[in-house]
Amino acid sequence: MMQTKRFWLGAACGVGSALIWGAFPVMTRLSVAYAPLDVLDIVFIRYFFSGLLLAPFLLRKGLGGIPWWGLALMVLGIGAPYMLVVAQGLRQAPVEQFAAIVPASMIVFSLTISMLLLRTRLRRNEWLGIALIVLGMSAVALHSMGAAGLGAARAYGLFLLGGLLWAVYTVTAKALCRSALHATAIVSVLSMLLFAPLYFYCKGLALLAQPLPVLLPHIVYQGFFVSILALYLYSQAVLLLGPAVGSLFAALVPGLATVIAALFLREQPALATIAGLLLVMLGMGVALFRAQPARG
């Protein structure tokens, strides 16, 4: 009975984190392509408010002895520079492209960096996962570029760059950080301190002219849901179900993002894109899977 309850609670946490992360590109595209907000606005909203929320935690924990270059790579990888890149891509391309490229290319780049720089030996399932991911991303790219031309190629390049930046963060944080929340606090607070002055210099207080009903959903979602709540739920899923099963919820993100975009943005994916997404999700699941050790 206890094991069943533990399983369903872990599954609920995993699905919850996947839903929040799946809605991230939809909310970001809604902000920069359809709402009266631009890329700078949405980057500021995300890191200013998450930075404020996590500043007390970081003040208590400190920087954990992480060298300056590690801090720089982490902020570059998933902080304001990353958001500037992917938000610009989402201004130009539908969510399905982000969903197929960014999370999957992050896994490919992370495994490649680990293999080349850290001398990590890849397992057979990781090689197979990489092959499936590359095949799926290629299918999405060929269809998108054939349909939309240069604009799609530019967005595809931005999404690949986003995946590379995210991979740099992933490898750095895994090597240097104590916990996922500590890494998130470092990135959020340092991004706030670095980006807020630049934002105020470029745009002043123009954001305050926007009505609260326009700003509030993005403040809550970008500043709390994506930055803090999704991370907590994912960590709980891994704790309750183990890393092998818990990590597989990340493979749901591309499909969920595409479904949410179809429902709320009316962005209907083509059959070639759906096929590519299925290959990407399968490849992510294969690459992320960790066999659980037998219990005596």
What distance in Å separates the CA atoms of residue 285 and residue 139, rounded to the nearest whole number? Answer: 18
Q: Where are the alpha helices (DSSP H) in the chain?
A: 2-29, 39-61, 68-78, 80-92, 95-117, 124-148, 150-176, 180-203, 212-220, 230-241, 243-246, 253-264, 271-288
Mean pLDDT across 172-184: 87
C-alpha dist (Å) from residue 180 to 226, 227, 285: 13, 11, 21
Give the per-residue pLDDT at 161.
Answer: 96
- pLDDT the model gives residue 294: 40
pLDDT for position 162: 94
The pTM of this model reads: 0.87
Q: Which has the minimum average pLDDT: 179-183, 195-199, 286-290?
A: 286-290
For the segment 260-273, the average pLDDT, to the nearest whole number, is 87
Band (292; pLDDT cuts 50, 70, 90):
very low
Judge whether 30 and 265 are in contact, CB under 8 Å.
Answer: yes
Q: The tokens 């907590």 sit on which residue?
A: 232
Q: Above 50 in pLDDT, residue 295?
A: no
Query: What average pLDDT score do residues 108-122 get?
Result: 85
Overall average pLDDT of the 83-97 stretch: 91
Alpha-carbon distance of 10 to 254, in angstroms, equals 20
Cβ atoms of residues 196 and 130 within 8 Å: no
Residue 20 to residues 173, 176, 239: CA-CA distances in angstroms? Answer: 21, 26, 19
pLDDT at 243: 61
Share of the chain above pLDDT 90, in %: 39
Select the more confidently predicted residue: 9 or 144. Answer: 9
**How far is it, in rounded angstroms, from Cα 208 to Cα 189?**
21
7 versus 79: the higher-pLDDT residue is 79
Q: Tell me the average pLDDT across 135-145.
A: 79
> Mean pLDDT, the chain, as a whole number?
86
Q: Which amino acid, 236?
A: Q
